[in-house]
Structure 1
Amino acid sequence: MVWNDRDRAEDNRERRERTSITARALLETERLAREAKTARLRDERLAAMSVGKPRPVAAKAKPPSRRKKRKVVDVS
């Protein structure tokens, strides 16, 4: 079979369409997973609040270290 430019262009277009369809399906699956996780975490948080458990506290950041500054000594 001899390929001409029209056949290659059509083949490339079909390949791009299949890739786009697959990518959209993957993005939709990821979006649904994110939404499900968000809903689950929200439900857990609301359930914990209704029971009266305190909210988890984030760890405090360490204060910056107070290193001694170098003294500049003039030797001249």
Structure 2
Amino acid sequence: SKTEMIILEILITKKNQIVSRDTIITALWDDEAFVSDNTLTVNVNRLRKKLSEIGMDSAVETKVGKGYMAHE
């Protein structure tokens, strides 16, 4: 989806750096009045599933309480 591609782009731009959930939420839904944290979680999980299908199981890592990090 477009949302998953934007998440991937954000993470790749900051490869090997932690990107906060707030940074990603703001980039995606800044004009929305309220976006649930679960909305981001669902989209990241969908992205992970698609990456897993092409052999990139550990491309996106969760940093608990901090955000996400992309790896090669």
Q: Does TM, scored on the shorter chain, surpass 0.5? A: no
- Whichever structure has more helix as a proportion of its residues is 1
TM-score, L = length of structure 1: 0.29
The structure showing larger relative contact order (alpha-carbon pairs under 8 Å, at least 6 residues apart) is 2
Structure-2-length-normalised TM-score: 0.30
